[in-house]
Structure 1
């Protein structure tokens, strides 16, 4: 799933809410660019894709193909490239004639289209292969082919390392929902989502079709054009979609609320006519009218070899990757490769210097201007409300500043978030759908286009998005490598904690998985009360380049002294003087809490310990961000060694209570070499339903159980 920025527009729209007349783009393209130019561009893209898979020399065929020109071990994916290239070739002229102030983006549902993205970047002169910058030359064309897959530079599949690509794949399914998120509150934007047969079989894609109905009346948005690449095949066999005839396909998409347009791609002039009709029917997302969907039934791997030595290739899973497995050694495959490459007539497509021919250049998009970065949002001010409503107030204040959305799987009210200033309704900037994946994809598309967002969900169901988040962290890491940082934070508000929920709703595993990535942008916030949670949220909603997970119990009403809040926000942890009794010298025991439930129980335990053993010297520490416990070389927010030693003096036993699973905190401490003297208490699966009080007792998290553990640790020799 990737996003190719064909032609980014300005970050600020001159007339917000003025939906562009996209039919102008089609009309302009039809009069300005001949069909032959579009066809030539498609052939050029196909040729460059095939060359990347097979050639290490003679890319500009100055002589007949030789065995030495062919790669020893061809690798990469071919099947998805021709239909993707077909769409890119047709969209180039359309973007060049776009309405003033508008922009067109393309989201790829398949990460396998790496050769297409690289080929397109070469044609648009944005790919650096030799020398100090992008360019067209025979040497660059050879480097494009010979270097594929560009393991260290660009990869072999779509990544944000490829110029113009700002979103990466790895998670099949959410492309349509990500496209929807990109156009929210952006009426000037059109996102073309290219969706494959296999992707349409995923739950995320299936939910996204009808998910747009959850956005009705939610504001002024741009348009999404879904393009279904219905080529009939998945990786290993026929797709489910291939079992539908044309009437059934039309009925399927009509039933989903779309107006389907079908074409097989065999007639460029006819397809351009259909595309113009589709563009004329584009509507803003959130409008209660059928949206167009374009179904391209071009066969997978079209224009490739049909058969070799009696072995059928076209229409079989053989086209998914390299259809010719060993042309360097197999004579018949070598002959088929030579004929395949020659069929594109590359001499008509490129000059002997590697430049696209004049015909090809006519169909390429205009040079893309660099988008202006979105202006930073001023930090919010926490108002003087009490308990959980304070969190709601922070969200409302951020929404009032604009360029913000909240997504929730039908749980905002359940999570005690009061989003409307008056009444119980949902404001335009808040969207709910009972699907965590769609909520994440909307959030991802929204933040990918420079706006702030928050996903609020139950703790147990947040884990559904684990794989999506892992892939998104990879995407952001690769963006950082290119120097294209500065994206708004990924923000999760995780509440309805398992400590008070039914057995099936107990799963704090998401934050454990995020910590296991050791991604330096991850922060797991564990505030002690809602005042602290609100303070953290103000920071989360105005920051950049972080993945924040705020764990806050919606039922928690305890409030602790605010004296140390600033230190907790700054350092991620602080000593609580009101619960500490260190006395002279080092303490006998350090009590540390991470999270509101943990702070409630451990603070009560501190009182019980003081009553039972008043001579015990206790230092109480609250952890506001779990990552501060980790190794400084891995976690940027980690406590420096001297601060860690001040909070957790050497040789002193530590009892740490955390609302997360205990292994997550243990792993962080183990990286610092702190295991023997630290006991970590956290959630563990009880194996059966239990009342909340019994669950605390079973996990050793109740005040009574924590007191008993603490006293036993004091008795132990240091």
Structure 2
């Protein structure tokens, strides 16, 4: 919100304006009921009949009238104060409210010209709602003005703050349902006010919609009493205002005065912060709206209380098509809004009511921030090649993510002026070895700072809160409003946001087919501190299963990368930061690890996503006896160590090494756009030779990706088998039988042509495993031959 001069007035509305606001609210309520029930006779120009009723009644009425009430009052202050505002609907199952309001303001018909501003347009608007071939009943991507899918509850406030970061002129009005407020992510999200910079960021105005009930139970916040409720939000650091009642005209007057007051306080906070950069963290205003669930709907149906009760949650009148009494109640309910006073002869909202809505881009349904691709600017990117590691093949590097940190540091520097790139993570940016980013920025933090704190400033590009939900939600809101970012997290705990990832992936899938929605920057997730190097933290920190979750999503949306070294990681992340409309998941190690490819080699390899490593293979111009495949940094290390043993002891054995960076390459091209065609796949993996595959994650994922391939029967995958504990790094691979010794034995078992030649080598591998176990139990560390192993095979 700009700090330009605003004349804030808080006097009562005139009777004329009050009546118009109430009429607009009635129109929104009428459209909401019509969407749930009608597919014909949208303006009741004839008596309501059973054939006008939809065969299947779906939708949520309970939250809808309260959201209609909020929307019309936000329209008033947007227009009065020339505000830049978007609307986030936490109880997004109240889809009729937002769809109806976006239609009334005119945006809906501009986006969907077939839903015109006339009686026929109203009929189509009603029919399409929760109807085959139509739109969902939630506030979905199809709804203009939305950045928040209302199907799953808990993330509205996180999304709202993400939208506000680096958006100093934007106010995000976030309606939080009192059922939603019981979720863990939402309860934690109230703390986001400790991260909002009043100078460089926008404003979040939470409106807690306290209507008392969830689907079948009262809500906690509705039953704890006013004093406890106020203390709760004071404790969170907010300044709560309560508005309560059920008389429409009184509530309109109260809400109008309160919103004027709130805008005045927001203006004062912004102006004070601009004058005094060291001002104390402000107490931002929030509103608690107490109104009946299903307000203005039927009081009773079949003798049961509806308004102000949980029975108003979904469809209050269940059977108007076959029950005459229900049909009469529905007709009375619809006519109680007096549609004949609201719409002209053509079925368009009366012009005097149209004037209440903002115009152009000030309409919440048409605000560019709610269609973030319209605002998206390309990142200014340094050349990732300049950060490459040049060393002898197989030489131990400093750690892949440590190298990446320099690249990201300079991305931050290059985009400081644009203010469109942030890093998000749950207190793990340093732990994941992205240390160098703090040479360019700090963590943003609005709470007090003491002398012993590091990297905490009122303005920073790093957002850290020990809540994966908040980090993911903030980043999603940031991306959806046209910016770029990175979420870094421990691999085992990314599962906390499994369903958030699901919802965002669904959003991307749907919006990809909406021509008016512009593509947004990809959601980039970097998983470090991964399963194979969590030996010190133990079993709780060892889980690579997020990859399986990701692979369930639509192929057009998700990408998974497993770079084997630092140069490959740089190449992959450069690609991810430049991409649009994907979820990119990259797994990388943070501990010192071997460097396998020069930068030039890495660029070629990562561009292909999969390939033979000729320098590690010895099958050129002949058929290989075995294909040694690997995906992931530790699996690559163990595979090459196994290859070195095989080539030392069985030099006549023809071994091909195939490394996979882009996991989707394993799928057929018919299943994923990155997938290899059959000919290319068979060229790499052969049609009949054994493939010993060392994989970063659960082995069955590779089988799932390759089960249609000609040679799938010969794929033998080693990966994580849910065996873990506090142990040594190498022992983690041994416990899961993905170590070099098991890989060698597995290879020998698949090569019957070797016959008795393998007996001594196999016994040596078995002996090594025993020696290893005894050594680590005595010394507490891996054997020197493991710790000091180097790639010394003669390159062919």
Alpha-carbon displacement from aligned partner over 1:340-375 (angstroms, at most 9, x marks no partner): 111101111111211001232122221236744322
Match for residue 257 of structure 2 among 249, 255, 273: 273
Alpha-carbon displacement from aligned partner over 1:108-151 (angstroms, at most 9, x marks no partner): 11231221122123212233599954421111111222333243
Aligned pairs (5 A) from 1:571-590: 571-590=608-627
3-state SS in 1 of match to 2:357: coil
- By how many angstroms is 1:210 displaced? 1.5
The equivalent of 2:471 in structure 1 is: 439
Tell me how far apart the structure 1 counterparts of residues 181 and 475 of structure 2 sit (CA, whole Å): 21
Tell me how far apart the structure 1 counterparts of residues 240 and 5 of structure 2 sit (CA, whole Å): 18
3-state SS in 2 of match to 1:127: helix
The equivalent of 2:668 in structure 1 is: 631
Structure 1 residues 643 and 77, CA, compared in 2 at 3 Å: closer, same or farther?
same
Aligned pairs (5 A) from 1:203-222: 203-213=184-194, 215=195, 220-222=200-202
Aligned pairs (5 A) from 1:610-689: 610-672=647-709, 674-686=711-723, 689=726
Alpha-carbon displacement from aligned partner over 1:351-409 (angstroms, at most 9, x marks no partner): 12110012321222212367443222244312346543321011111111221000110
Aligned-pair Cα RMSD in Å: 2.6
Aligned pairs (5 A) from 1:225-374: 225-264=205-244, 266=247, 267=250, 268-282=252-266, 283=269, 288-368=281-361, 371=368, 372-374=374-376
Aligned pairs (5 A) from 1:461-476: 461-476=493-508
TM-score by length of 2: 0.83
- By how many angstroms is 1:291 displaced? 0.8
Aligned pair count reads 698
The equivalent of 1:481 in structure 2 is: 513
- By how many angstroms is 1:31 displaced? 8.7
* Aligned 8 A contact 2:35 2:96 in 1: yes
The equivalent of 1:714 in structure 2 is: 751
* Aligned 8 A contact 2:164 2:172 in 1: yes
- By how many angstroms is 1:22 displaced? 9.1
The equivalent of 1:416 in structure 2 is: 433
Structure 1 residues 636 and 287, CA, compared in 2 at 3 Å: closer, same or farther?
farther
- By how many angstroms is 1:156 displaced? 2.2
The equivalent of 1:399 in structure 2 is: 412
* Aligned 8 A contact 1:571 1:637 in 2: no
Structure 1 residues 683 and 22, CA, compared in 2 at 3 Å: closer, same or farther?
farther
- By how many angstroms is 1:459 displaced? 0.5
Tell me how far apart the structure 2 counterparts of residues 548 and 31 of structure 1 sit (CA, whole Å): 54
- By how many angstroms is 1:715 displaced? 2.6
3-state SS in 2 of match to 1:701: coil
3-state SS in 2 of match to 1:226: strand
- By how many angstroms is 1:293 displaced? 0.7
TM-score by length of 1: 0.92
Alpha-carbon displacement from aligned partner over 1:523-547 (angstroms, at most 9, x marks no partner): 1110111221122112222221111
Alpha-carbon displacement from aligned partner over 1:537-584 (angstroms, at most 9, x marks no partner): 122222211111110111142111325312222111121111010044
**Which of 216-225 and 407-416 deviates more?**
216-225
Tell me how far apart the structure 1 counterparts of residues 148 and 550 of structure 2 sit (CA, whole Å): 20
3-state SS in 1 of match to 2:35: helix
Tell me how far apart the structure 2 counterparts of residues 22 and 62 of structure 1 sit (CA, whole Å): 48
3-state SS in 1 of match to 2:242: strand
Tell me how far apart the structure 1 counterparts of residues 5 and 232 of structure 2 sit (CA, whole Å): 26
- By how many angstroms is 1:641 displaced? 3.1
3-state SS in 2 of match to 1:679: strand
Structure 1 residues 130 and 107, CA, compared in 2 at 3 Å: closer, same or farther?
closer
Tell me how far apart the structure 2 counterparts of residues 132 and 685 of structure 1 sit (CA, whole Å): 54
- By how many angstroms is 1:313 displaced? 1.4
- By how many angstroms is 1:169 displaced? 2.6
* Aligned 8 A contact 1:33 1:362 in 2: no
Structure 1 residues 584 and 270, CA, compared in 2 at 3 Å: closer, same or farther?
closer
Tell me how far apart the structure 2 counterparts of residues 26 and 366 of structure 1 sit (CA, whole Å): 22
3-state SS in 2 of match to 1:171: coil
Bigger Cα Rg: 2
Tell me how far apart the structure 2 counterparts of residues 205 and 296 of structure 1 sit (CA, whole Å): 17
3-state SS in 1 of match to 2:424: strand
3-state SS in 2 of match to 1:524: strand
